[in-house]
Amino acid sequence: MKRLFTPWRMKYLKSNKTNEGCVFCSALEQQDDRSNLIIHRGENSFVILNRYPYTSGHLMVIPYQHKEVLSDLNPKTRAEMMELVNKASQVIKAVYKPEGFNIGINMGSAAGAGIAAHIHIHVVPRWFGDTNFIPVIGDTRLVPEELDVTFNRIKKAW
């Protein structure tokens, strides 16, 4: 068996986690944006780093309202979310120089949403050749940068 060492994850593994409530709502309730990976708080929605990113710089735009579907959000919130997606992609482009983006919503568990109860938009930077056999064969993602480094780079550029 091959091993992939990820010592930076031990802090998370040892942390006091609960399975109750929404992780997005919980992050919002905290005042420490850095430890909760919140990049920006807007009027109706916020931008946060994905704690389990597909690639370095993977952000999510999330409404403050805990809703499952877009149609349950008011037009002002939906508009702000799209403006934050635009800003997020511009910031990521400046910091990481990706060759493209995946921007999307997995609405509902059947669509692949890991947190289906609270709608969110993923902004994922992409590069030619950034996929390989490891996620398929080894069920493992390789992310070359620690989250605190990613947070600092994106927060500074924001």
Indicate the pTM of the whole model.
0.83
- Domains with residue ranges and CATH for the chain: 21-131+142-157 (3.30.428.10)
- pLDDT value, residue 11: 63
* Burial class (CB within 10 angstroms; exposed 0-12, middle 13-18, buried 19+) of 32: exposed
Q: What is the mean pLDDT of residues 32-53?
A: 96
pLDDT tens figures, 53-104: 888 999 999 999 999 999 999 999 999 999 999 999 999 999 999 999 999 9
Residue written as token pair 């579907």:
69
Q: Which of 65, 47, 66 is nearest to 57 (CA)?
A: 47
- pLDDT value, residue 145: 85
Apex 119 CA angle, 100 and 24, nearest 5: 100
The full DSSP string for 48-116 is EE-SS-SSTT-EEEEESS--SSGGGS-HHHHHHHHHHHHHHHHHHHHHH--SEEEEE---SGGGT-SST
Task: Determine whether 122 is an active site residue.
Answer: no
Q: Which of 58, 66, 118, 120 is catalytic?
A: 120
Q: From CA 69, how far away is CA 84, in angstroms rounded? A: 18
Q: Which of 93, 137, 124, 155 is nearest to 4 (CA)?
A: 137
- pLDDT value, residue 31: 93
Report the DSSP beta bridge partners of residue 89.
Answer: none
- pLDDT value at 150 more than 80: yes
Report the DSSP beta bridge partners of residue 38.
Answer: 48
Between 21 and 15, residue with greater pLDDT: 21
Listed range (10-14, 32-36, 136-140) with the worst mean pLDDT: 136-140
